[in-house]
Amino acid sequence: MANKLLEVKNLKQHFGTSSNPIKAVDGITFDVFEGETLGLVGESGCGKSTTGRSIIRLYDITDGQVIFKGKDIHASKSRQELKEFNREMQMIFQDPYASLNPRMTAGEIIAEGFDIHGLYKNKKERRDHIGDLLEAVGLNREHANRYAHEFSGGQRQRIGIARALSLNPSFIIADEPISALDVSIQAQVVNLLKKLQKERNLTYLFIAHDLSMVKYISDRIAVMYRGRIVELGEADEIYNNPIHPYTKSLLSAVPLPDPLTERKRTRIQYSHEETTEEIKVHEVLPNHFVYGSDNQIKKWFK
């Protein structure tokens, strides 16, 4: 098995006040292995984005640990180390319209990271690097001088991807990178991400609110519900053998290609099951983890 690139241990991110906390992320634990894509899936508001933002240090976390290449990101005080984390971990955002400054050219957007890090003092080297990144994401070198608003949604997301690649990171958090795009463009962006992963040995945390596209990109999938992970396993396992009723419900919402079968099948509604029993992690099959009480697992795993 590949090395662990990232270890998230009992991560908590609470907002609000101590008397009225919003437990956006409430004790999640998972690893991300070098070169893999871990899909993080769950409905709106379950804490996916907060997880991504906490990992990348956009927030000071409430509790837990985030260990990247063996170093605790949130405990680190060394400026050099923090700079290195910033370089190695990048984020691609959902909305390519909101996340790119329309008053900047594609070249300026892509170069922002390496300008801050003081790379490429030489103008030609800088321009060449921008051009290489544009080509790597399927755009033309000449696009460097166009403004963000002159591009289509899919092209903008490609610029967002080029920006994320600009410092040669090893780990990318893609926060619903295709949700705002036309369906016809979504597969192109997923294919691009896959191609770049192979070429650059990237590791992804791919956040999505449904399971439809995640299947094509993820090696493993973690299903999140109300700030916690409820099921985690190989992508095929999660698709073919879901155990947690919430995962089953999410799967029943994935549209099927055949319209006849699609019309016949019923959507499984999930209703939250309160329990006073202790929630534990159960390895129901090798590398397939389900979170629930002993009795719940007995009931679900038949």
User: What does the binding site for ligand ATP look like in residue numbers (CB under 6 A)?
Assistant: 15, 22, 24, 42, 44-50, 209
Q: At its nearest, how many Å lie between ligand ATP and the CB of residue 44?
A: 3
Residue 214's contacts (CB-CB under 8 Å, 6 or more residues apart) are 39, 41, 206, 208, 221, 235
* Shortest separation between residue 302's beta carbon and ligand ATP, angstroms: 30
In terms of CB distance, is 100 or 208 closer to ligand ATP?
208
CB of 92 within 8 A of CB of 160?
yes
**Is residue 43 left, alpha or beta, with left meaning phi > 0 and alpha meaning psi from -120 to 50?**
beta
Residue 11 or 196: the one with the smaller Cβ distance to ligand ATP is 11
Nearer to ligand ATP, 41 or 189 (CB): 41
- Name the residue nearer to ligand ATP (CB basis): 156 or 209: 209
Question: What is the nearest approach in angstroms of ligand ATP to the Cβ of residue 40?
Answer: 9
C-beta closer to ligand ATP: residue 94 or 155 = 94
To ligand ATP, the closest distance from the beta carbon of 42 in angstroms equals 6
